[in-house]
Amino acid sequence: MSEPADAANETSLASTGRGRPAGATRKGLETRLRIIRGAREALEEGGIEALTTRRIAASAGVKLATLHYYFDSKESLLIAVLEDLIAEMDAAYRQDVSLPSAPEDRVEALIRASWRYIQRTRGKQIAQTELTLYALRTKGSEWLAARQYNAYIDFYGHLVFEDDADEDLRRIGRAVARQMLIGIDGIILQSYALQDLSASNDDIEAHIIAMRGYLRRLLAERDRPR
Amino acid sequence: MSEPADAANETSLASTGRGRPAGATRKGLETRLRIIRGAREALEEGGIEALTTRRIAASAGVKLATLHYYFDSKESLLIAVLEDLIAEMDAAYRQDVSLPSAPEDRVEALIRASWRYIQRTRGKQIAQTELTLYALRTKGSEWLAARQYNAYIDFYGHLVFEDDADEDLRRIGRAVARQMLIGIDGIILQSYALQDLSASNDDIEAHIIAMRGYLRRLLAERDRPR
DNA sequence: GTCTATAGTCCGATAGAC
DNA sequence: GTCTATCGGACTATAGAC
């Protein structure tokens, strides 16, 4: 879950096509990416309510008209931003994270790593949640929210059981991943709102115990199917 | 968790004081509340990005100037909206919900009731989450997000153990409530994004098992302290 | 591909009649 | 307490020079 820097480029450049004249020169692609990253910065800074094209252009170091040269509309830019976030997460998975060998221990390590990450990237997490909500209510963009979640589920799921595990195990990995993600999203909101570190730490411990138990239960069910 | 209708009036009228000339006549108070409810409607309809004072005024059936007569600024109105949501939840607790007698069964019933509620109030939940995020990043309004969460925690906590339980039990009730809320918030986001009802149902069942286990563990710890 | 300049719209907020 | 009318500014988007 560490900052995967710019490994996301490749993926987010290919993106929805909305990104304008296919005639994409080297420099053009860089500018396009600068605008996306500028939008992310501006979003983290001031929230979606204050996220205007002017602010984005300034944050990216380009003129307003340049922004509109690369994106037909503000909406298509926001979609590209969400895609960039997904690509970044995808890249983070690819560069892999070394983890304990027992699945239950991996689950625990993953939750702890996520919790540390959440604590030091408050603005980023809020921004991402805002964008997800934006996608959820923007007609025709709901699929983006689903893609974002599936990327996270793949990410967590693959870290619970390696890619070469059998189908049953991968299915279990995804179920646990979904549940881990639920807890993490819930803790993000609650920890930022309550600002009670000791309570949040208790919540993380409870979540870890619950996830270890869930994984154990699913594995036991597999060995002794109904 | 059923719609508590208008029981929230009293509370939200008293509110932050920002609500303008204390000289509040009967009719004036009604107008003020109509504006707040209009804002909630408009928010559920189009999201916080499209939530303009003009739209709110139209949705409330008042003129733009009237809105500004009751609220000094758009921000103070949004704060009043969040307070209204909190008051509504508070009222919902007061009118109480009949539940099973065993605490563990109450926890399960509560989660199931919340899940049914979430499924039929998508727009409302998204709106509320958007407002919470708004409060979290609006300088000086972070306390509102905390108040909102504490209202929910009280609500759930009181339903796990009655008010007349001893202090230990009430503390345990609140811990379980926090954890239940984390799961519910996480499921809200994930279920809307993934639109996979069978997965969400599995998640709810897993959450119920986890919460029953958590409550049991906390009670066992209390009887046999470290 | 990036710029300046500006069109055209919509915003939050206020003045002042009733 | 509610209205009409309007201000000044900020917004998204485009036209057209370079």
Query: Straight-line distance from CA A84 to C1' D15, in Å?
Result: 31
User: Quick one: which of B42, B116, B66, B187 has its CA closest to A182?
Assistant: B187
Q: Which of residues 54-73 of A touch strand C (CB under 7 A)?
A: 62-66, 69-70
Show the tokens assigned to A56.
């984005």
Find the residue in B nearest to A211 (Cα).
B210
Q: Does the pLDDT at position A1 exceed 60?
A: no
Q: What sections of chain B are H helices per DSSP?
A: 9-14, 26-46, 53-60, 64-70, 74-94, 103-119, 122-137, 142-160, 167-194, 197-223
Query: Tell me, what's the pLDDT at A12?
Result: 43
CA A33 to chain centre: 18
Q: At what angle do helices B74-94 and B122-137 cross, to 10 degrees?
A: 130
| Residue B17: pLDDT band with limits 50, 70, 90 | very low
Q: Does the pLDDT at position B21 exceed 90?
A: no
The model's pLDDT over B182-202, given as tens digits with 9 standing for 90+, comes to 999 999 999 999 999 999 999
Q: Does the pLDDT at position A143 exceed 50?
A: yes
Query: Tell me, what's the pLDDT at A89?
Result: 83
Non-local (6+) Cβ contacts of B50 within 8 A are B42
User: Quick one: which of A44, A193, A157, A45 has its CA closest to B131?
Assistant: A193
| Residue A92: pLDDT band with limits 50, 70, 90 | confident
| Residue A97: pLDDT band with limits 50, 70, 90 | low
Q: How much is the average pLDDT of A22-47?
A: 88
> With the C-alpha atoms ordered B131, B132, B133, B139, is the resulting torsion angle positive or negative?
positive
Distance CA B111, CA B105 (A): 10
Query: Tell me, what's the pLDDT at A224?
Result: 87
Q: What sections of chain A are H helices per DSSP?
A: 9-14, 26-46, 53-60, 64-70, 74-94, 103-120, 122-137, 142-160, 167-194, 197-223
For residue A48, which amino acid is it? I
List CB contacts (< 8 A) between B150 and chain A.
194
Distance CA B106, CA B88 (A): 22
| Residue A93: pLDDT band with limits 50, 70, 90 | confident
Backbone angles phi, psi at A7, to 5 degrees: -60, -10
Cβ atoms within 10 Å, residue A16 = 11
Q: Does the pLDDT at position A137 exceed 60?
A: yes
Q: How far is A23 from chain B (nearest CA, A)?
A: 33
Q: Does the pLDDT at position B206 exceed 60?
A: yes
Show the tokens assigned to B119.
């499924």
Distance CA A98, CA B28 (A): 63
Q: State the average pLDDT for chain B.
A: 89
Give the nearest partner residue to B181 out of A137, A150, A186, using CB atoms. Answer: A186
Give residue for tokens 């979540």. Answer: A207
Hey, which of A7-21, A201-215, B112-126 has the most confident mean pLDDT?
A201-215
Show the tokens assigned to B23.
């000289």
Query: Tell me, what's the pLDDT at B5?
Result: 43
Distance CA A45, CA A135 (A): 19
Interface residues, strand D, Cβ cutoff 7 Å: A 51-55, 64-65, 68, 72-75; B 21, 23-25, 27-28, 31, 62-66, 69-70
Query: Straight-line distance from CA B65 to C1' D3, in Å?
Result: 8
Residue B205 · residue B211 · CB < 8 Å: no
Q: Does the pLDDT at position A30 exceed 70?
A: yes
Query: Tell me, what's the pLDDT at A68?
Result: 97
Which nucleotide C1' is nearest A68 CA? D13
List CB contacts (< 8 A) between A175 and chain B.
202, 206
Show the tokens assigned to A222.
């597999």
> With the C-alpha atoms ordered B43, A47, B88, A187, is the resulting torsion angle positive or negative?
positive
Cβ atoms within 10 Å, residue A99 = 16
Q: Does the pLDDT at position A151 exceed 70?
A: yes
Higher per-residue pLDDT: B24 or B211:
B211
- Span A6-95 CATH architecture: Orthogonal Bundle (1.10)
CA B190 to chain centre: 18
Chain A residues with CB under 8 Å of a chain B CB are 46-49, 126, 129-130, 132-134, 136-137, 142, 145-146, 148-150, 175, 178-179, 181-187, 189-190, 192-195, 199, 202-203, 206-207, 209-210, 213-214, 217
Q: At what angle do helices A122-137 and A103-120 cross, to 10 degrees?
A: 100
Query: Straight-line distance from CA A151 to C1' D10, in Å?
Result: 37
List CB contacts (< 8 A) between A184 and chain B.
186
Instruction: Give yes or no for CB of A27 within 7 Å of strand C.
Output: yes
Q: Nucleotide D1: nearest residue by CA–C1'?
A: B28
Q: How far is A60 from chain B (nearest CA, A)?
A: 22
Non-local (6+) Cβ contacts of A63 within 8 A are A57
CA-based end-to-end distance of chain A: 37
The model's pLDDT over B129-159, given as tens digits with 9 standing for 90+, comes to 999 999 999 989 999 999 999 999 999 999 9
List CB contacts (< 8 A) between A197 and chain B.
none
Give residue for tokens 């029981």. Answer: B7
List CB contacts (< 8 A) between A192 and chain B.
136, 145
Task: Quote the percentage of chain B above a pLDDT of 70.
Answer: 88
Task: Quote the percentage of chain A above a pLDDT of 70.
Answer: 88
Task: Quote the percentage of chain A above a pLDDT of 90.
Answer: 74
Query: Tell me, what's the pLDDT at A163?
Result: 84
Q: How much is the average pLDDT of B75-96?
A: 88
Find the residue in A nearest to B196 (Cα).
A146
The CATH 1.10.10.60 portion of chain B extends over 1-95
Q: How far is A160 from chain B (nearest CA, A)?
A: 17
Distance CA B156, CA B34 (A): 29
Higher per-residue pLDDT: B98 or A40:
A40
Query: Straight-line distance from CA A69 to C1' D15, in Å?
Result: 13
Show the tokens assigned to A139.
């007609």
Query: Tell me, what's the pLDDT at B16?
Result: 44
Distance CA B133, CA A130 (A): 7
CATH code of B1-95, in short, is 1.10.10.60
Q: Does the pLDDT at position B217 exceed 60?
A: yes
Give the nearest partner residue to B49 out of A48, A187, A202, using CB atoms. Answer: A48
> With the C-alpha atoms ordered B41, B44, B46, B48, is the resulting torsion angle positive or negative?
positive
